[in-house]
Structure 1
Amino acid sequence: MTGILGTIGGFHVGAQKIHYPSTAKVDQHDIYHGVKVEDPYRWLEDDRSAETKAWVKKQNEVTFAYLESIPFRGKILADLERYFNYPKYSAPEKKGDYYYYSKNDGLQNQAVLYRQKGLDGEPEVVIDPNKLSADGTTVLKAFSLSKDGRYAVVGTSKGGSDWQEFRVMDLSTLGMLPDRLDWVKVSGVAWQGNGFYYSRYPEPRGSALAAKNENHQVFFHQVGSSQSADELVYEDRENPHRFHLASTTRDEKYLILYISDRGKGKDGNALYYRAAGAPAFEPVVTDITDFSYSVVDNVPEGFLLETNENAPRGKVELFRFSDKARQSVLPEQADPLKSVTTGGGKLFATYTKNVTSVVNVYSLYGVFERNVPLPGLGTVAGFSGEKEDESVFYTYTSFNYPPTIFRYNVAQGTSRVFRSPEVAFNPDDYETRQVFFKSKDGTGIPMFITFKKGLKQDGTNPTVLYGYGGFNISVDPSFSATRISFLDQGGVYAQANLRGGGEYGEAWHEQGMKLRKQNVFDDFIAAAEYLIGEKYTSAERLALQGGSNGGLLVGAVANQRPDLFRVGLPAVGVMDMLRFHKFTIGWNWIADYGSSENEDEFKVLYSYSPLHNIKAGGKYPAILVTTADHDDRVVPAHSFKYAAELQAKAGAPSDYPLLIRIDTNSGHGASNTRKALETAADLYAFMFRNFGLTWK
């Protein structure tokens, strides 16, 4: 065939020759500040066109033919299933006489939501998402209980989309009421009496999965009414690229309104509140800057606020109702404040010390009481509850410590294991080291390296280097059963804590955003050089992996240092840095990336954009791009255009495959357990095949 679905070039891996589908080019370009930029694959941005669907089909045929030819692919999937097949629980949430929690028996596509009376009661199923669709891709995204325990909002998404449908469940019968709310996205659920506040967009014009999302609105829904009767609480049509989010305090006395303007490059938010029954909002913070503010809880005098205003590592203040002034509760510490919660009448502050969790307990007014001893160097989440609760729950995990739920007695300050998963591995067989290496500019960068004990540092070990480096997100220690399977094959897993993340507070974040984004790539390159220099691996046995912003990271480093690694695994990556803000909520990322509409930021974006820096005739490592047809956060057009350009410019000269795997009925991440395991098996199969190794 010729034209869109013809072939170009080919290469050999062993005795196997792959022919890439050719991709039609169109005469399309844009002018940015006097610079002409060609965009020949613009047509792939139309996710609904027959041409795009045909292109997806042909690319998948080529990719899956390659993957199916790998003889040990099936064994990898079987191994991953064996390791992953153990019961997984969420921490329970108490409401009235019941505790609510989710449980996955092991390999269920979706976790099932249960409740039971007391901690020793008989469980009953509240909702089983596995029964909501034949293929198990309908996901329970929200379950929010009303304060009196009569109702719950049930939010579901289909096929991995970020769009949600809200329903209301009568908890006395576990039946759904007629209420049905559509076009919900970027929303919480804020109960007040027999109704709740939520955020939504107007019904999109054009593609629901690609059209730009504008005019975020806050509504109030009264249980038992239709969506058309919902009260519009807040909107701002003069600023269509703002987020408007609502929450209520635990006692439902106050409605809190958050307004952010990341589409204009601002990283913070304004904050308003409205007392129950009051006619209008009152301000806490009116100006949207790069400072963020969130209400932790309310006390009689006012709100406890978490903020980074003039405190890049975070602090807590009391906003007083009486004079609208603020006073210090928890001043900024040497370590970044990761989260603040309340429960049992106490304030729980989780700090990050060299990328591991430290939890301190304070009075609600900031008087230190004690530290919470943890099992080791890992990550915690939880410590939330009502003021009258005698205990709260938290989850602890680390690289060789499966997520374990603890029950913390607030009065005694003691923890005991509530639920511990039974995973088919011995944690004592594995070792994690935290190292610090120097990046290009001399900055010290932390990295965790995990492997099975007895590993020889002889440069031959298959190694995965994972990175993210963006949006103030900290990449913390966590457990992965499928990763244990890789370690048992002699693998090394390295997790680099790059600038741009939140590991050391806002200053660390700022060093890896906008005009300084190259620092993130330099950090990742230095991490790879460290692993090679210390003989954990070699360039021939190293794979770089990252998703979303991390997919951008892998794509950029592949252009800058293709000699440094053998396999690249960019997942759902932001690959077109000049047009990302034109799709769904992409404008939200301008605060981190900048915008091509700003000349100085354009120059930097254009200098590293993965799509625009592929070297014609360059030799690339093996690359398996992964994306999904229902990804409406980072639209698949990013990956489509990148793969087409990569194959066209580098397919013939490169010695290794340059492929794209497009999942169907999935979004920004796998939509069910089966898809997640199949994707992981294909990534390992691709990796080992191109390392020249066999999965034993």
Structure 2
Amino acid sequence: MTLLAASASLDAQGLTPSNPNDPFLWLEEVESERALTWVRARNARSLVVLEGDPRFATLNAQALEIVNATDRIPAPSFWAGGISNFWQDAVNVRGLWRRTSVDSYASVAPVWETVLDVDALARSEGKNWVFRGGDCLEPDERYCLVQLSDGGKDAVEIREFDAVERRFIDGGFRFAEGKQSVAWIDRNTLLVAREWAPGEMTNSGYAYVVKRVTRGQPIERAVEVFRGEKSDVSASGFALRDADGRVAATLLYRGRTFWESEIHQLTPSGTRRLPFPARQSLHGLVDGQLLFTANEDWNGFKAGDVLSYDLAALLREPAQAKAELVLRPGPRESIEGVVTTKSRLVVALYEHVRGSAYAYQRGTNGWTRTRLPLPENVTVALGSVERGSDRLFVSITGFLTPQSLYLADAAAATATVVKQAPAKFDATGLVVEQHEATSADGTKVPYFLVRRADAPRDGTTPTLLYGYGGFQVSQLPSYSAIRGKLWLERGGAFAVANTRGGGEFGPAWHQAAIGVNRDRAHEDFLAVAEDLVAKRFTSPRRLGIQGGSQGGLFMGVAMTRRPDLFNAVIIGVPLFDMLRYHLLLAGASWMGEYGNPEIAEERAWILRYSPYQALAAGKAYPEPFIFTSTKDDRVHPGHARKAAARLEALGYPYLYYENVDGGHSAAANLVESARRNALEYTYLTRKLMDTP
């Protein structure tokens, strides 16, 4: 079929921007035999190309070696006076939930005790279980609510587990699979939000009714304590606890949109709304002060301010409570993490996308801060906090700097290296640079570039540009062993765009590119790509782009708007049909980010960039690699399927891979993750490194 004939065929079926009837709706039937037959055929066709490439086997073996390496740092969580970790390797594919003492963890060879063997559980029950964590009742942390996902979905089954006896409790709390939240109040009481009656879920597919569940009580007799509305995103309940694990207040969260919410208190006589801004994030308690961030201008405070309430005063007279300023970031600063210890608030504060950590203490003259002694110009990630103390883990990393794990004391302002990961690729001769591009409206957009110092500035360097650009998610420097081994070590360069829509400079940077202004993020990304070419770091022939989820939408927009600028596009677990995104799985929850296609004005601005409707005949699109997961119950796999189907109908080449498991990460275990990475870098090698 010629491109012209294909276009005429699609127009005849009504797939035009003004009349978006869709001939590929059947691909939204996630597990219909017709759709899965289509998937299997495209998988087979694409895998013959990618796995048939003689370089795939080596790349896959290298990726497997990295993900299964036993010398990587076990991610620690303080637990019941010791340390817990979830570990996966070549033997324990689904993983071990395990624990050790603090001293043992700090040693060269920790001695681990297995708490739950997920591989053994999956074998015994005939399930593809993916461990989603355990919420353990404070302060003893013996009894845990373990979450298990079938194949990596967001929907989970929840079971009560005895961590001392290392078994699921017969007759204990248990909830069948669903998108649900469960929170301990005490040993015999939970707050549960789930689908209590058929269809009793929000338009986004989440719970909006919260009930109190008592041990031994039939679930149908659970007492409703809060009800939102079907148009909300979700509702849930939780216990606000002090540093010693005692319940200070029982709170309820009502998410009216993805960004706007209400906080209510559950009292013996009912509920009452507490005076928080609609856009806010709660952080926890420090010496009776409830810490939160205002993500909008509110009551004289600025968006991004960290504030505190005296909890006792707030609960005594909510209407009279006065918030106090703790921290106001500067115009090129952002807060990328906040935790509370027994006596301190600890903040990961970034300036121009470079991290540091400060401990804040409240005194008679307000809040003062002390900088923790950590390396500079790195990414700082705050980790687990030890209950009842000021100790916490802090992780340090960079593009060329393997992870170092510190044990910090926020009160003493000390930080000691506990673990240091070995280098997994040869970084000799590589440099990290920070540049700025100028967007269409004159805004300066920073980006990082990792490249060989001696690479010629003649446009010949194969370069991969990554973008996300949404949901206030910042793109920070991080060490990726797979990217280093499979790309940088082989002569490729890597760039990351810090576009608006992200959180690199706080809530204002994000909010500048939502709704009607969404195109600012797209313009920022294209400006970075153009800057890489203009400065001769690379050229359109050698430039590829990559993004997943919201980033997959980013890639679709870039490909359809500037097909001349790229020679490779990796579109992962994407949003793509933005006129129907709100009807698919969790899509309705994101209308606060994108807008509502049911409203004519908002539909018009969404249509300006929706990649699915923008695909057209007669364009020189690069051959993209599109991947998704059948089990992704967050971003519907129909987006990726329909993108591929429309490209095919228009006569364009593409590569497509759909993992039958894996959830939103498109990988349920390390083996699948290694394979997906090997497929990506095989594709990039073919497109950007091979000679024409």
Same fold (TM over 0.5): yes
Listed as ranges, the matches of 1:498-513 within 5 Å are: 498-513=499-514
Q: Output the CA distance in 2 between the equivalents of 1:612 and 1:198.
A: 40
Listed as ranges, the matches of 1:143-542 within 5 Å are: 143-147=134-138, 148-178=140-170, 179-185=173-179, 187=181, 189-202=183-196, 213=205, 215-223=207-215, 227-236=219-228, 238-250=229-241, 251-262=246-257, 267-274=259-266, 278-285=268-275, 289=278, 291-297=279-285, 299-300=287-288, 303-310=290-297, 311-319=302-310, 320-321=313-314, 322-324=316-318, 325-334=321-330, 335-364=333-362, 367-382=367-382, 384-385=384-385, 388-425=388-425, 429-485=429-485, 486-542=487-543
Could you tell me whether the CA contact under 8 Å between 2:147 and 2:159 is conserved in 1?
yes
Could you tell me whether the CA contact under 8 Å between 2:466 and 2:496 is conserved in 1?
yes
- Measured after TM superposition, the shift of residue 467 of structure 1 is 0.2
- Measured after TM superposition, the shift of residue 591 of structure 1 is 0.2
Q: Which residue identity is paired with 1:125?
A: T
Q: Secondary structure at the match of 2:490?
A: coil
Q: Output the CA distance in 2 between the equivalents of 1:493 and 1:432.
A: 10
Which string of whole-angstrom CA distances, capped at 9 and with x for unpartnered residues, describes residues 121-173 of structure 1? 74201122233335995221121111122201110111121101111111220
Segment of structure 1 superposing worse, 615-624 or 565-574: 615-624
Aligned equivalent of 1:123, options 112, 132, 137? 112
- CA-based RMSD: 2.9
- Measured after TM superposition, the shift of residue 180 of structure 1 is 2.0
- Measured after TM superposition, the shift of residue 109 of structure 1 is 3.0
Which string of whole-angstrom CA distances, capped at 9 and with x for unpartnered residues, describes residues 598-647 of structure 1? 11111111111110000212221020111111111111111111111112
Unaligned segments of structure 2, at least 5 residues: 105-109
Could you tell me whether the CA contact under 8 Å between 1:344 and 1:388 is conserved in 2?
yes
- Measured after TM superposition, the shift of residue 399 of structure 1 is 1.3
Could you tell me whether the CA contact under 8 Å between 2:280 and 2:292 is conserved in 1?
no
Could you tell me whether the CA contact under 8 Å between 2:127 and 2:150 is conserved in 1?
no
Corresponding residue number in structure 2 for 1:5: none
Which string of whole-angstrom CA distances, capped at 9 and with x for unpartnered residues, describes residues 458-489 of structure 1? 31111110000011111112111101111000
Corresponding residue number in structure 2 for 1:680: 677
User: Structure 1 residues 591 and 211 mapped into 2: Cα distance closer, same or farther (>3 Å)?
Assistant: closer
Q: Which residue identity is paired with 1:478?
A: S
Q: Percent identity?
A: 27
Aligned equivalent of 1:92, options 43, 55, 76? 76
Corresponding residue number in structure 2 for 1:13: none
Aligned equivalent of 1:80, options 63, 75, 80? 63
Q: Output the CA distance in 2 between the equivalents of 1:601 and 1:114.
A: 49
Q: Which residue identity is paired with 1:450?
A: V
Which string of whole-angstrom CA distances, capped at 9 and with x for unpartnered residues, describes residues 330-380 of structure 1? 142212233321113111122221122221111146522410132232222
- Measured after TM superposition, the shift of residue 422 of structure 1 is 2.7
Q: Output the CA distance in 2 between the equivalents of 1:107 and 1:554.
A: 36
Q: Output the CA distance in 2 between the equivalents of 1:90 and 1:249.
A: 29
Could you tell me whether the CA contact under 8 Å between 1:573 and 1:638 is conserved in 2?
yes
Q: Does 1:69 align with 2:57?
A: no
Q: Secondary structure at the match of 1:569?
A: strand
Could you tell me whether the CA contact under 8 Å between 2:180 and 2:207 is conserved in 1?
no
Q: Output the CA distance in 1 between the equivalents of 2:198 and 2:382.
A: 36
Segment of structure 1 superposing worse, 159-168 or 98-107: 98-107
- Measured after TM superposition, the shift of residue 298 of structure 1 is 5.8
User: Structure 1 residues 415 and 538 mapped into 2: Cα distance closer, same or farther (>3 Å)?
Assistant: same
User: Structure 1 residues 106 and 331 mapped into 2: Cα distance closer, same or farther (>3 Å)?
Assistant: same
Q: Which residue identity is paired with 1:296?
A: G
Q: Secondary structure at the match of 1:132?
A: helix
Could you tell me whether the CA contact under 8 Å between 2:192 and 2:236 is conserved in 1?
yes
Q: Does 1:557 align with 2:544?
A: no
Could you tell me whether the CA contact under 8 Å between 2:254 and 2:261 is conserved in 1?
yes
Could you tell me whether the CA contact under 8 Å between 1:43 and 1:52 is conserved in 2?
yes
- Measured after TM superposition, the shift of residue 410 of structure 1 is 3.3
Which string of whole-angstrom CA distances, capped at 9 and with x for unpartnered residues, describes residues 490-538 of structure 1? 0111010111111111211122111111111111111111111222211
Corresponding residue number in structure 2 for 1:668: 664
Q: Output the CA distance in 2 between the equivalents of 1:83 and 1:193.
A: 41
Q: Which residue identity is paired with 1:99?
A: I
Could you tell me whether the CA contact under 8 Å between 1:249 and 1:298 is conserved in 2?
no
User: Structure 1 residues 576 and 599 mapped into 2: Cα distance closer, same or farther (>3 Å)?
Assistant: same
- Measured after TM superposition, the shift of residue 249 of structure 1 is 1.8
Q: Output the CA distance in 2 between the equivalents of 1:516 and 1:186.
A: 33
Q: Output the CA distance in 2 between the equivalents of 1:679 and 1:156.
A: 23
Could you tell me whether the CA contact under 8 Å between 2:255 and 2:261 is conserved in 1?
yes
Q: Which residue identity is paired with 1:678?
A: R
Q: Output the CA distance in 1 between the equivalents of 2:286 and 2:221.
A: 31
Q: Output the CA distance in 2 between the equivalents of 1:449 and 1:204.
A: 50
Unaligned segments of structure 1, at least 5 residues: 1-7, 11-20, 652-656
User: Structure 1 residues 401 and 139 mapped into 2: Cα distance closer, same or farther (>3 Å)?
Assistant: farther
User: Structure 1 residues 387 and 211 mapped into 2: Cα distance closer, same or farther (>3 Å)?
Assistant: closer
Q: Output the CA distance in 1 between the equivalents of 2:293 and 2:489.
A: 42
Q: Which residue identity is paired with 2:269?
A: P
Q: Output the CA distance in 2 between the equivalents of 1:659 and 1:424.
A: 29
Q: Secondary structure at the match of 2:181?
A: coil
Q: Output the CA distance in 2 between the equivalents of 1:353 and 1:544.
A: 26
Which string of whole-angstrom CA distances, capped at 9 and with x for unpartnered residues, describes residues 50-99 of structure 1? 21121112111211122233121111112222344433445433343432
Corresponding residue number in structure 2 for 1:654: none
- Measured after TM superposition, the shift of residue 223 of structure 1 is 5.0
Segment of structure 1 superposing worse, 631-640 or 67-76: 67-76
Aligned equivalent of 1:113, options 89, 97, 101? 97
Q: Output the CA distance in 1 between the equivalents of 2:444 and 2:520.
A: 12
Q: Which residue identity is paired with 2:252?
A: L
Could you tell me whether the CA contact under 8 Å between 2:64 and 2:670 is conserved in 1?
no
Q: Output the CA distance in 1 between the equivalents of 2:454 and 2:183.
A: 50
Q: Output the CA distance in 1 between the equivalents of 2:655 and 2:197.
A: 35
User: Structure 1 residues 336 and 691 mapped into 2: Cα distance closer, same or farther (>3 Å)?
Assistant: closer
Q: Output the CA distance in 2 between the equivalents of 1:91 and 1:197.
A: 29
Q: Secondary structure at the match of 1:461?
A: coil
Could you tell me whether the CA contact under 8 Å between 1:60 and 1:660 is conserved in 2?
yes
Could you tell me whether the CA contact under 8 Å between 1:159 and 1:667 is conserved in 2?
yes
Q: Output the CA distance in 1 between the equivalents of 2:325 and 2:599.
A: 40
- Measured after TM superposition, the shift of residue 679 of structure 1 is 0.7
Q: Output the CA distance in 1 between the equivalents of 2:2 and 2:47.
A: 19
- Measured after TM superposition, the shift of residue 9 of structure 1 is 6.7
Could you tell me whether the CA contact under 8 Å between 2:15 and 2:613 is conserved in 1?
no
Q: Output the CA distance in 2 between the equivalents of 1:423 and 1:110.
A: 25
Could you tell me whether the CA contact under 8 Å between 2:129 and 2:149 is conserved in 1?
yes
